[in-house]
Amino acid sequence: MKKYLRGMTTALCVAGFMALPGAALAAGADYGPPDKVTKWVFQPCFDSSDAGWSLGVVPWIKAVEEATEGTIKIQLEPAGAITSGSEAFGATSAGMIDGYAGWATVYGGDMPEGMLAFGMAMGANNYRDAWAAMFGDPKYRIGDLVQAAANDRNLQWVGWTSQGPNAAFTNFPVRKMEDFKGKKMRAGGPHALFHEAMGGAPVSMGGGDIYTAIKLGTIEGTYWDTGGIDDMAFHEVIKYAIMPGWCPSQHQEIYVNLDKWNALNQWQRDKINSVFMSTYFETSRLHAQGVDEALEILVKAGGEVIQLPEEEVKRIREASINLVWPKVAEKSARSAEGVKLWKEFLTDIGDL
């Protein structure tokens, strides 16, 4: 039954995606590329050192420019070029910049529904399941809740990519969830909710401070997307990677200011929507390759990849659903509905 349901939800991906908000069938003499070129400036909450730059945002920009036949040109700037990384989401909503990319809208602080798109603690095991729940299977369509929340904040959700597992990278071995107890680890937003649920002590700090903090012993590890640990040189200061990760399929979202989105003609909006799914699967595949490479680098540096046994994964999933998911649900009515749908989806495919 589990294998059948996985196949069924995957088969629904293409049909389900066609119902994305904003997609429309338009006809008539005016439907087509406009005469003028629209120029957008994007600033993510990260810079080019992050794997999400070259493997997420850049391929999406290329696909959008090609799909719109050059009628949209996007200038990509690193965090800090226009505003700080933490302020970029709000700046896009206000129209200071045209587009943003980041995680759970800076871990959900500005838009809690972003956590539904980021990935639930011990939620979808891979990007295919995540797509089925968010857009592919009409029974769930969790992505519609995120899009509605984005629209309320003067934004349009236009891109998505799975960066693979977000995992714990530590200087202590973890073979059962009790091993996290009392451990100080860098964790923010959804990571902090998980680490606290495991009995750990989450420590908030900027990404640029993590390496030094681990090296000095201020913290004992960090939560990070697995494919990006080599970019951050974490393999030099940590000993263990704990897999399959607390969030087996972490995601990054892309948003455009809603006023700028509405200023496009229908043909341009349809063209951008048309590459949402294709870029999702392309960039998610690229990130998956990066995960394997990063873990190889860790092992070559003398580190160890600990694969938690299935029984322990089940225990951690149960704890996450009982302790972490309710905290996500309580943040808004849409968040609560999304958590409910995530539970239904994972139950239907046999993971719960």
Percent of the chain with pLDDT over 90: 87
Residue 14 has pLDDT above 50, yes or no: no
- Neighbouring CB atoms inside 10 A of 60's CB total 26
Q: Indicate the burial class of 297 (C-beta count within 10 angstroms; 0-12, 13-18, 19 or more).
A: middle
CA angle in degrees (0–180, nearest 5) for 313-315-319: 115
What's the CA gap between 86 and 51, in Å, rounded? Answer: 18
The per-residue pLDDT for range 88-130, each reduced to its tens digit, is 999 999 999 999 999 988 888 899 999 999 999 999 999 999 9
The answer to the question of residue 2 being in a domain is no
Prediction pTM value: 0.91
The answer to the question of residue 26 being in a domain is no
Tally of domains in the chain = 1
The answer to the question of residue 314 being in a domain is yes
Q: Output the pLDDT for position 17.
A: 53
Q: Indicate the burial class of 333 (C-beta count within 10 angstroms; 0-12, 13-18, 19 or more).
A: exposed
What's the CA gap between 21 and 144, in Å, rounded? Answer: 7
The per-residue pLDDT for range 303-336, each reduced to its tens digit, is 999 999 999 999 999 999 999 999 999 999 999 9
Report the mean per-residue pLDDT for the chain.
Answer: 92
Q: Output the pLDDT for position 28.
A: 57
The per-residue pLDDT for range 27-55, each reduced to its tens digit, is 555 899 999 999 999 999 999 988 899 99
Q: Indicate the burial class of 22 (C-beta count within 10 angstroms; 0-12, 13-18, 19 or more).
A: middle
Residue 276 per-residue DSSP state: H
CA angle in degrees (0–180, nearest 5) for 300-305-306: 160
Please compute the mean of the pLDDT values over residues 155-171 and round it to a whole number: 97
The answer to the question of residue 263 being in a domain is yes
The CATH code of the domain that includes 117 is 3.40.190.170
The answer to the question of residue 51 being in a domain is yes
Q: Output the pLDDT for position 21.
A: 45
Per-position b or e across 174-209, b if 16+ CB within 10 A of its CB: beebebbeebbbbbbbbbbbbbbbbebbbbeeebee
* Domain housing 292: 38-348
The answer to the question of residue 9 being in a domain is no
Q: Output the pLDDT for position 29.
A: 59
The letter for the amino acid at 338 is: G
Q: Output the pLDDT for position 104.
A: 87
The answer to the question of residue 29 being in a domain is no
The per-residue pLDDT for range 235-290, each reduced to its tens digit, is 999 999 999 999 999 999 999 999 999 999 999 999 999 999 999 999 999 999 99
